[in-house]
Amino acid sequence: MSDLVTVENLHKSFGGLQVLRGMSFGVPEGEMRVLLGPNGCGKSTFLKTMIGLHRPSAGEIRLAGERIDGLHPHEIARLGVSTKLQVPSVFRELSVYQNIRIAVQRETGRDARSRNMVIDETLDMIGLLTQAGNRAGNLSHGHQQWLEIGMAIASQPRILLLDEPTAGMTPEETQQTAQIVLRLNRQKGMTVIIVEHDMAFVSALDAPILVLNQGSIFFEGTLRQVRTHQGVKEIYFGSRA
């Protein structure tokens, strides 16, 4: 299967600070990858570069073979790239249902019946169907994160980018979030790239891991391989054991 996302020799600098240093990898359509690494290694910078919030200093990002690294965020979103960043940005005064409806209405070409079906399906997928009438601001932190994932997938994107989606969640919410992401990937065939450092969440996903260090891919493998790789232990776990 060909890669849906291709990142080639990506560099990003802010003034004299070089954050991404020749980052390269590919993700086949319908697959999932986890970007793992210590704080400050460039994970979030990569996501923001991929969605057009930052322009790369050098290198390329391609979606289905077409370069997107020179496009604006709204142009990249129209191509089917959807993102959930770290800080929840739900409409707190509106209901859960209304939040998803706003996300669905961003898509043109759907009639009312089709939009309603997408809303209900999305709420069911993220486990909030029974809370559809509740005010979004009254949801727990974890459920607000789920709602934002729902808003990101309501447009039925080709690829979903998640930046530390389980930050601040309870262990139970973290495991439930893993199940949501797995359903999106396995049942919907959605390509997913996740930035995360919560090892319980990463373990539940059981997806190939890309270890990022000093702005480039240091190692790629399974969770078991990552945990036993001496170099990874030294840079991520801070251990020489």
Q: Which regions of 29-108 does DSSP assign to beta strands (E)? A: 32-36, 58-63, 66-67, 81-84
Range with lowest mean pLDDT among 152-161, 183-192, 223-232: 223-232
Q: Any idea what DSSP says for residue 237?
A: I
**Coil, helix or strand for 69?**
coil
Range with lowest mean pLDDT among 145-149, 200-204, 226-230: 226-230
The answer to whether residues 56 and 92 touch, using CB atoms and an 8 Å cutoff, is no
pLDDT > 90 in the chain, percent: 74
Tracing tokens 């290694």 back to the chain, one arrives at: 41
Average pLDDT, the chain: 91
Model confidence pLDDT, tens digit, residues 122-163: 999 999 999 999 999 999 999 999 999 999 999 899 999 999
The answer to whether residues 34 and 196 touch, using CB atoms and an 8 Å cutoff, is yes
Interval 75-82 mean pLDDT: 95
Can you read off the two tokens belonging to residue 160? Answer: 């979903």
Residue (of 176, 135, 184, 134) closest to 155 by Cα position:
184
CA torsion, points 117, 118, 124, 125, in degrees to nearest 10?
Answer: 150
Model confidence pLDDT, tens digit, residues 210-219: 999 889 999 9
- Domain spans in the chain, listed from the N-terminal domain onward: 3-237
Architecture of domain 3-237: 3-Layer(aba) Sandwich (3.40)
Cβ atoms < 10 Å from Cβ of 34: 22
CA-to-CA separations, 80 to 8, 60, 73, 220, 226, in angstroms, rounded: 20, 18, 11, 26, 31
Q: Amino acid letter at 191?
A: T
59 Cβ neighbours under 8 A, 6+ residues apart: 7, 8, 9, 10, 11, 20, 22, 23, 24, 69
Angle of helix 96-105 relative to helix 141-153, nearest 10 degrees?
Answer: 20
